[in-house]
Chains A and B, each alone.
Chain A
Amino acid sequence: MDRVASKNRKSSVALLLNCVTQWLKDNLGIIIALVVLCLILSLNPITKNTFLTVKNIFNVLRQISTNLFLACGMTMVIILGGIDLSVGSIIALSGCLAAGAVVRYNLPLGVALLVGVLFGLVFGVFNGFVISKTTIPPFIVTLATMNIAKGLAYVYTGGSPVRVVTKEWQFIGAGYIGSVPTPVIILIVVLIVTALIMNKSKMGRYIYAVGGNAQAAVFSGIKVSKVKFFVYAYSGVMAGLAGIVLASRMYSGQPTAGEGAEMDAIAAVVVGGTSMSGGYGKIGGTLIGGLIIGVLNNGLNLLNVNSFWQYVIKGAVILLAVFIDYIRQENKDKVKIEKNRFSN
């Protein structure tokens, strides 16, 4: 019995170490890319005094938090073999509704925030319902809800921002807990929750199963529509959360907020190594993907690069990161296949 107990203790430490080394190994390519990016910025004479400061690092993390909220939901959606284009517009709608709840109806802050997240959930549930009950492609369904959410945001606000000036309002997006920005704390919680769902729960396995082979999942007795429903609902909640955090950071709900945010989220997921054809991917990779995009944005700003050119550079870097990963995987697969073809 003693041996078993000590083995258990040892194995839990070993397991954690295992997880970390596995994470490093899985994401080696993009981690190197991230480190190189950071090195360039901390050695460059223009940015070396500004980049590697606590203030700037927290600033970067605060900025990427919205993208990573979306990316957490998007990782699940893409592993499931789907796509969710509606999240950017949900940001705008939920931000505006939350701000409106405070300004127009004098509702308490907690209720307002709940309203924001709830509308994210409503849209996610709607996406999930249509996608799981029909065979309409997720691309089309979420393209439609993207327009609906955006339109509703404009209708509600009449096209102009809903300003909120209270101090409490800013706490969520622009405030601090201790010396750490609030969104960063929320982000850590969201990342942990998402990682637990994906790696530890039955639902997580089902997501990989449905994404890997939907028909096999049916034969396995997995309730495929339930899994789809959950994933899109989760993505909607993440978008709602991103919406209130962003609105808080900008002191207002804006109908133009979150435009193109769905694409940044997809970029983070894909740079993080998740397969667009579904069935494969890790939330740890998405974290790195989001960091790369965030650091890149920050660095280009610090370097005073023309904002038009920033798009060009960002696009090139995304392609490069995915390309490096592609080559690495290709080589790994080749070696593995040739080794295994005859061993069994």
Chain B
Amino acid sequence: MGDWLATNVLLQMKNIHKTFPGVYALKAVDFELRAGEVHAILGENGAGKSTLIKVLGGIYTADQGEIYIEGKKVEIKNVKDAQKNGISIIHQELVLVPYMTVAENIFLGREPMKGKFVNTSKMYEDAQQLIDSHGININAKSLVRNLTIAQQQMVEILKAISYNSKILVMDEPTSSISEKEVEFLFETMRNLTAKGVGIIYISHRMSELAEICDRVTVMRDGSYIGTKVVKETTNDELISMMVGRELKNYYTRDFQKDGEVILKCENISDHKMVKSASFEVKKGEIVGFAGLVGAGRSEVMKCLFGLTKEYSGEIYIEGKKVKIKSPSDAIKQGIAMVPEDRKLEGLYHIQSVRFNSTIEVLKEFIKGIMVDRQKEEEITQKYIDLMSTKTPSAEQSVGKLSGGNQQKVMIGRWLATNPRILILDEPTRGVDVGAKSEIYAIMNTLAKSGMSIIMISSEMPELINMSDRVYVMCEGRITGCLGHEEITQEKIMKLAAK
């Protein structure tokens, strides 16, 4: 951090208050962003990060407090105001139109005109120029739906830049892209800050802070807790600021030694992505699956869980060869799977926690048209308690819970089936620090009770600290297996990028 930064204050938010009926969402929050810095905002879900961002973006108006941009006091009453003041927000969910081209998306709503018609050639020229000037390799004429998630994110960023934004807000931009793409994203961010743009960066991944961020502001329960220079702080300090207490044993794990082999897969191929994958899982083991996005980890599990019907290879459970051609076959064999994308593949959003918790075990309390409500409520409550899910009631719509609590409902749903083998695909994605730690503790307890867990993960610390063994995949093949003592980030990366 050069000294010139200190004088280049781009944005100041002072004493921001915001209440919703019955809740104090922001209490006297201060925030400062300098030109050319990446400033992270950390906090658990519900800490008020997104409310603060929404106040800045003009989606909410603050009840009290002032916003200064380059020293001048500004009023931000709506999204237009925010745009006028050079603020752009890239939301967690991408909001591009899939069946339009990159250029059309960038210039949506402000297309260059020639008389009454859109000047198409100029639009594509301008867009391509903008893309090239940032050293990005995308064709302005490709349809957005044909791009990778990371490329789509680039388009979002370009769109934001094309408004000549000075302040860029990124809400969890790396939650759905691979390691390699993250590198690329960071490079783009560095290019922007070199040009004097200030970036506000929201992420759950602590490991990214050191790499890309200059300063970090921590929030908790709607209050401002403090701002630190990243180089002068530690992860432990930040975590204790976030949760308000010392989080001892962030990872809980009693490593297992040599149980009997419960699952053995041989030469699994799905003729698309997975190429002859063989692996085994022992009783009470947590087996990690590492690899880049697109390495075929989820695809192997989809074969094992019967979601992919056209696959070859053998599956043995407790030494017996089994046939799994559908999820219900897999469930009968005692396999459970919590999918990677709980929004898309897991939750029934408008339905209650009760509905979501019991959908796998209906036969335990529904006989024909006789519903044993009491049993149903007992099951629901049992897994709310076991997972310590925070929900106002069992009748709450699951879509309205926080990410961590949604994930707990998902895991609880599958635990209710009493599985022998539990597959967790990215179990802590979009889950805040406190809930993460709780999920780790639950995984440890389950493994100790003899359940075998397969954990696909893109988070190195999680793989290193939780796995008895890690299989690494690359381009559809299993390229290696590391025992607990030998797992390091370097070894995993070497195998993953073979």
Contact = CB atoms under 8 A, between A and B. Distances in A.
A219 B327 contact: yes
Given A201-B368, A338-B20, A344 B405 contact: yes
Contact of A221 (B328, B344, B346): B328
Given A219-B327, A223-B328, A344-B401, A279 B366 contact: no
A306 interface: no
Q: Which of A199, A219, A280 has the most CB of B within 10 A?
A: A219
A212 interface: yes
Given A223-B326, A340-B396, A344-B391, 12 more contacts: A216-B339, A216-B345, A219-B337, A220-B360, A336-B400, A338-B22, A338-B23, A340-B392, A341-B20, A342-B24, A343-B46, A344-B401
B355 interface: yes
A215 interface: yes
Closest 9 CB pairs of A and B: A221-B327, A338-B20, A212-B348, A200-B369, A221-B328, A342-B23, A344-B390, A202-B362, A196-B369
B400 A340 contact: yes
Nearest to B371: A200
Interface in B376-404: 390-392, 396, 400-402
B327 A279 contact: no
Interface string A12-56: 000100000000000000000000000000000000000000000
Nearest to A220: B359
A213 interface: yes
Interface of A: 8, 11, 15, 196-197, 199-202, 205, 208-209, 212-213, 215-216, 218-223, 279-280, 335-344
Contacts of B23: 338-339, 341-343
A79 to B, nearest CB: 11
Contacts of B330: 221
A189 to B, nearest CB: 14
A49 B492 CA distance: 85
B272 interface: no
Given A200-B366, A212-B351, A342 B25 contact: yes
Contacts of A279: 348-351
Contacts of B363: 202
19 contacts: A11-B373, A15-B373, A200-B370, A201-B366, A201-B369, A202-B363, A205-B362, A209-B359, A212-B348, A212-B350, A213-B345, A216-B345, A216-B347, A221-B330, A223-B328, A279-B350, A338-B20, A338-B23, A342-B24
A215 B61 CA distance: 37
A338 B199 CA distance: 28
B286 to A, nearest CB: 21
Query: Chain B interface: which size bin?
Result: 35 or more
Interface string B317-339: 00000000011101100000101
A343 B345 contact: no
A153 B355 CA distance: 43
B400 to A, nearest CB: 5
B4 to A, nearest CB: 39
B337 to A, nearest CB: 7
Contacts of B326: 221, 223
A118 to B, nearest CB: 25
A279 B399 CA distance: 13
B222 interface: yes
A197 B392 CA distance: 29
B350 A344 contact: no
B260 to A, nearest CB: 27
Contact of B355 (A197, A201, A205, A218): A205
Given A200-B366, A341-B20, A219 B359 contact: no
A339 to B, nearest CB: 6
Contacts of B396: 340
A98 B366 CA distance: 38
A330 to B, nearest CB: 14
A186 to B, nearest CB: 20
A340 B405 CA distance: 13
Contacts of B21: 335, 338-339
